[in-house]
Amino acid sequence: MSVRVYRSGGIVVEAGGKRLLLDPTGIPDRKPDVVFVSHAHSDHCRPSVLRALKGVPKVMSHATRDLVDPRRRLDSVVAVNAGEEVEVAGLQLEVHEAGHVIGSLQLRFDAGATVVYTGDFNLERRVVMRPAPVLKADVLVIDATYGHHRYTFPPRPLLYKAIVQTVREAVEEGRGLALAARTLGTGQELTALLSLVAKVVPFVEEKIAEKNRIYEKYGEVLGEYAVHSLRPPRGAIAVVPLSSDHPGAVPCTGWAVGRGIPLSSHAGFSDLLRYVVESGVATIYAFSSFASSFASYISREMGIEAYAL
Ligand SMILES: [Zn+2]
């Protein structure tokens, strides 16, 4: 059974006479049978595009729906929970945890060959959410945001230890500390880590706190935190958005390897390789930042057919 994977508005998978559109941020050339939204980050989902795809079933988790369509303006939404299997437009779709941000899902379906789309994912045990399982696949469409060996991150326990120690030193010295994180993702992980593990009550910027409430709605325990709008009070332990210009804020992102704390909601390079090996895959399509170098590495070093999207 042939499976075609290409880009048009998002990632398109054609198999078994059906056309799936994954994480659209633009209008595709041809109308899909199903749209799948893996999670609510803006590089995976654009509400205006989803509105334009009228009448097409749009599969997403309940939490993703709350984040991208809080006023329920989208039509044909099929809201699902991780672990469920649903039939949509004649396709049996399985959705699984992706461990990336609240509501993030992986997709698996069978069209003669088993196709898996990871979306953005994380395999590690963290203070928030459950990790992504590795899914068996014939064809794997995988996130390669950190698909370069430079982005091999320390294990979570070591990162957590370093953050907690930095926070405790700041508290002992009576000085403030701001950790800069993504509004949806590491913002909530840091809220929980500071509150539940470092035992401080962090000041969390309002946009991050908004997302905290969605995590809490879906059962995630983040502990106690205070909310600030413009600037946290002097001397506070704070979580601010990466996009803010807070002076002296320590960046917590995978891109901060070597200059900050490489805490990411994505899988780092070694976990990407683990996924490839354990999935038993025959063909790979890599997407996002390091797609080309990751695809080259996989075909060169592992002898697996691999392409960049
Ligand atoms: Zn993401």
- How far does residue 3's CA lie from ligand 1's centre (Å)? 25
- Residue 219: which residues within 8 A CB-CB, separation 6 or more? none
Q: Is 164 found in the same domain as 214?
A: yes
For 194-226, how does the pLDDT look when each residue is reduced to its tens digit (9 = 90+)?
Answer: 999 999 999 999 999 999 999 999 999 999 999
- How far does residue 24's CA lie from ligand 1's centre (Å)? 13
Please indicate, yes or no, if residue 261 is contained in any of the structural domains.
Answer: no
- How far does residue 42's CA lie from ligand 1's centre (Å)? 8
Give 303: exposed, middle or buried? Use CB within 10 Å, 0-12, 13-18, 19+: exposed
Give 62: exposed, middle or buried? Use CB within 10 Å, 0-12, 13-18, 19+: middle
Q: Is 186 found in the same domain as 271?
A: no
Q: Is 243 found in the same domain as 173?
A: yes
Q: Is 147 found in the same domain as 28?
A: yes
Query: Residue 306 has what pLDDT?
Result: 97
Q: Is 146 found in the same domain as 13?
A: yes
Q: Is 290 found in the same domain as 160?
A: no
- How far does residue 1's CA lie from ligand 1's centre (Å)? 31
- How far does residue 286's CA lie from ligand 1's centre (Å)? 15
Q: Is 128 found in the same domain as 95?
A: yes
For 236-273, how does the pLDDT look when each residue is reduced to its tens digit (9 = 90+)?
Answer: 999 999 998 888 899 999 998 888 899 999 999 999 99
- How far does residue 261's CA lie from ligand 1's centre (Å)? 18
Contacts 24+ apart (CB under 8 A), 221-224: 221/192, 221/196, 222/128, 222/188, 222/191, 222/192, 222/195, 222/196, 223/191, 223/192, 223/194, 223/195, 223/196, 224/195
In whole angstroms, give the CA distance from residue 259 to residue 277.
31
For 22-39, how does the pLDDT look when each residue is reduced to its tens digit (9 = 90+)?
Answer: 999 999 999 999 999 999
- How far does residue 65's CA lie from ligand 1's centre (Å)? 15
- How far does residue 52's CA lie from ligand 1's centre (Å)? 22
Query: DSSP secondary structure string, the chain?
Result: --EEEEESSSEEEEETTEEEEES-SS--SS--SEEE---S-TTT--HHHHHHSTTS-EEEEHHHHHHH-TT---SSEEEE-TT-EEEETTEEEEEEE--SSTT-EEEEEEESEEEEE--S---S--SSSPPPPPPP-SEEEEE-TT-SGGG-PPPHHHHHHHHHHHHHHHHHTT--EEEEE-TTTHHHHHHHIIIIIS----EEEHHHHHHHHHHHHTT------EEESSSPPTT-EEEEETTS--TTPEEBSGGGTTTSB---SS--HHHHHHHHHHHT-SEEEEESTTHHHHHHHHHHHH--EEEE-
- Residue 40: which residues within 8 A CB-CB, separation 6 or more? 63, 64, 67, 68, 101, 103, 184
Q: Is 136 found in the same domain as 39?
A: yes
In whole angstroms, give the CA distance from residue 38 to residue 97.
10
- How far does residue 103's CA lie from ligand 1's centre (Å)? 11
CATH classification at residue 282? 3.60.15.10
- How far does residue 182's CA lie from ligand 1's centre (Å)? 10
- Range of the structural domain that residue 275 is part of: 3-151+266-308
8 Å CB contact between 11 and 119: no
* Closest to 194 in 3D by CA, of 183, 203, 185: 203
Query: Residue 168 has what pLDDT?
Result: 95
- How far does residue 120's CA lie from ligand 1's centre (Å)? 5
- How far does residue 171's CA lie from ligand 1's centre (Å)? 32
- How far does residue 170's CA lie from ligand 1's centre (Å)? 30
- How far does residue 184's CA lie from ligand 1's centre (Å)? 9
Question: How many other CB atoms sit within 10 Å of the CB of residue 164?
Answer: 16
- How far does residue 78's CA lie from ligand 1's centre (Å)? 20
Q: Is 162 found in the same domain as 103?
A: no
The tally of domains found in the chain comes to: 2
Average pLDDT along the chain, 309 residues, taken 10 residues at a time: 92 94 97 98 95 97 97 97 96 97 97 94 97 98 96 95 96 94 98 97 97 98 94 91 90 88 96 98 96 97 97
- How far does residue 100's CA lie from ligand 1's centre (Å)? 7
Q: Is 91 found in the same domain as 234?
A: no
Q: Is 199 found in the same domain as 66?
A: no
- In this structure, what token pair is assigned to residue 95? 């959705």
8 Å CB contact between 226 and 256: no
248 strand-pairing partners: none
Please indicate, yes or no, if residue 296 is contained in any of the structural domains.
Answer: yes
- How far does residue 276's CA lie from ligand 1's centre (Å)? 19
Q: Is 81 found in the same domain as 58?
A: yes
Query: Residue 233 has what pLDDT?
Result: 85
Query: Residue 1 has what pLDDT?
Result: 61
Query: Residue 247 has what pLDDT?
Result: 87
- In this structure, what token pair is assigned to residue 215? 């995590």
